[in-house]
Structure 1
Amino acid sequence: MRELARWCLLRIGGAVFVLWAVATLTFFAVRLIPGDPAEALLGGPGSQTSPEALAAVRVQYGLDQSLPVQYLAQLGRLLTGDLGRSYALKVDVAPLILSQLWGTLILAICALAVAWLIAVGLVVWATRGGRVAWAIGSGIEIVAAALPSFWLATALIVLFSSWLGWLPPISTPGPIGLILPMLALAIPLAGFLGQVMREPMSAALDAPFVVSARARGEGDIGIRMRHVLRHAALPAISLSGWAFGSLISGAVVVETIFARPGLGRTLLNAVTVRDVPVVLGVVLVVALAYILMTITTDALSRIVDPRVRNA
């Protein structure tokens, strides 16, 4: 019980530090972009806004104060759970993010599940088929992991929309519109997961418990799926926490290409107009999702591998 409490306290402390670091880096990164934020709020450099209007906007949003004062004020609002109000959209940031969060989470979760299915199927096939299957599987994993999401998304649109006409080129409501964005994110991740599972699965096939299972008359598929896969999945489970964060980050490009509503497009639009509250809110939500997923994968590792729990 004491070790569990210590583990929880360490995770909570690490989460608080990560959220503070993310908020700090994001705030200064957005504010250090060249240009006048007040001018961006009023339509950009070509808007020909009067000096009086610029001064009024600076006072309204506290932009007339020094950068450290603005940072401390923003941090104080975040500590109270107030994400602020969008500069450009003139709406509260929290409801705006919540309205876009579900679509991005569905996309990331489905992409992670599909990536696992592809990786497990490829690794099981490669380890059963001999040297030829091993070489082909290894090549597929390397190529898949190297594919950029934006290029893959474009290729999927050309293949399945322009040539075959099977799927819509933009994301439509319902499961059909989710397929291409999901594959654009899942295929590269499947390459990474397959690479980290291949060697542990191959090593586990020579372990004594496999010999015992074969002696009990268990079939090859049962041995691989019930016993060997548990050992091979440990590195991939640890990788899934990082992978989930990368999927949400990759959604910025994929959602833009497929015109899919979500946090990615919201973040891109907010950065374009230097909408600091929206940028901070989206990045903090993404960081929180990454932290929760990392804690979940750590807990799964402790459940799957008793050695981690007893360490």
Structure 2
Amino acid sequence: MTPPAPTDRATPTATRRRARLTAALRWTTGRLVGGLVVLWAVATLIFFAIRLVPGDPAEAILGGPGSQASDEAIALVREQYGLDQPLLVQYLAQLGRLATGDLGTSYSLRTGVAGLLLDQLPGTLLLAVASLVVAWAIALGTAWWATLGGRVAAAVSSTLEIVASAVPHFWLASVLVLLLSTQLGLLPPVSTGTPAGLVMPVVTLAVPVAGFLGQVTRDSLLDAAAAPFAVSARARGESRSGLFRRHLLRHAALPGLALSGWAFGSLLSGAVVVESVFARPGLGRTLLGAVTLRDIPLVTGVALVSALAYVVVVALGDLAERAVDPRERAT
């Protein structure tokens, strides 16, 4: 009698591993392709948008309209930089340079764009990341208060979140300078390169974003608190704080994590105003000066680096969402 074939107990495990690996590869490929499409779209938009600004880029290269450059000098510069070529030829040439990592040379500063961005990027990233952390802390704090404090706390926190999300950066920055610097003398009015000089810029950027994150998180918390699993936990004698930490927070954080990429992009755009108000070096001030001077390579470089940072943060937010929600790991 022939003995029965041994059962391959590893097959289900191997199948699950292959499925997880396939899902991870599909997710990674999708994010890489999506990131490349975003960078291409940004480069294309910047290329055509900056050429709609009145003025001749050749004059910007020679120092602006005040340089009183001759027609011969302008014609020579246009030929040297390829500005006399058809617009489509210029566009394709720029895409080719960007594909090789060549960001070009700044028209106004006469130095490589890549080096300039490496100098300015750390300050802006520090400002944006610190602001995102503070915004999340404020959002979770107000959401916790709204959940545990009853109807009055929920109504007050909702009002504060709506007001915070509508506050303009320049107005909040001005109020903070008048209050904390001019009146109380607690903080320096401009960036000094010290932790004290970082406080007001971080708060200015964090408060509006915290308003949006707080609204989303609070609504998710209230929905989760009414779900059957929360009702069962309360029936088992779970305390209100324990219910918040062990059951509600994970469910409430998912919509906020999905919005973290948008929040980071909002912080990068807000850095233009905040860095100018507080005289803080960074990509925001660099971009503002480059647009004013029609410095096409520098504008393109700043926009691409900002878009790349946004793509990376969105991917990290998706990873965090997959880690918090097991249902996302199978997709």
1:123 matched to 2:123: no
Query: Is the partner of 2:190 in helix, strand or coil?
Result: coil
Matching residue of 1:174: 194
1:128 maps to amino acid: L
Q: Among 110, 116, 127, which residue is 1:107 paired with?
A: 127
Equivalent-residue separation in structure 1 for 2:23 and 2:193 (angstroms) = 46
1:195 matched to 2:247: no
Matching residue of 2:325: 305
* Max Rg structure: 2
Alpha-carbon shift at residue 215 of structure 1 (Å): 5.2
TM superposition score normalised by structure 1: 0.96
Matching residue of 2:114: 94
Query: Is the partner of 1:210 in helix, strand or coil?
Result: helix
Matching residue of 1:33: 53
Equivalent-residue separation in structure 1 for 2:231 and 2:25 (angstroms) = 39
Query: Is the partner of 1:169 in helix, strand or coil?
Result: coil
Kept in 1: contact 2:60–2:107 (CA 8 A): no
2:132 maps to amino acid: L
Alpha-carbon shift at residue 211 of structure 1 (Å): 4.0
Matching residue of 2:8: none
Matching residue of 1:288: 308
Equivalent-residue separation in structure 1 for 2:227 and 2:23 (angstroms) = 31
Please give the per-residue CA displacement for 1:155-174, whole angstroms capped at 9, x wherever unaligned: 11111111111111111111
In structure 2, stretches of 5+ residues that fail to align are: 1-20
Query: Is the partner of 1:105 in helix, strand or coil?
Result: helix
Equivalent-residue separation in structure 1 for 2:95 and 2:220 (angstroms) = 45
Moved more, 25-34 or 96-105: 25-34
Please give the per-residue CA displacement for 1:144-203, whole angstroms capped at 9, x wherever unaligned: 000011111111111111111111111111111110000010000000001001121012
Alpha-carbon shift at residue 237 of structure 1 (Å): 0.3
Matching residue of 1:227: 247
* Percent pairwise identity: 63
Please give the per-residue CA displacement for 1:243-285, whole angstroms capped at 9, x wherever unaligned: 1011011101110110000000111111111111111111001
1:275 matched to 2:304: no
2:311 maps to amino acid: I
1:155 maps to amino acid: V
2:297 maps to amino acid: P
Equivalent-residue separation in structure 2 for 1:139 and 1:214 (angstroms) = 28
Kept in 1: contact 2:148–2:241 (CA 8 A): no
1:85 matched to 2:80: no
Query: Is the partner of 1:280 in helix, strand or coil?
Result: helix
Moved more, 187-196 or 63-72: 63-72
Q: Among 140, 158, 166, which residue is 1:138 paired with?
A: 158
Q: Among 61, 65, 76, which residue is 1:45 paired with?
A: 65
Query: Is the partner of 2:287 in helix, strand or coil?
Result: helix
1:252 matched to 2:272: yes
Aligned residues: 311
2:62 maps to amino acid: L
Q: Among 16, 19, 28, which residue is 2:36 paired with?
A: 16
In structure 1, stretches of 5+ residues that fail to align are: none
Alpha-carbon shift at residue 217 of structure 1 (Å): 4.7
Equivalent-residue separation in structure 2 for 1:8 and 1:142 (angstroms) = 36
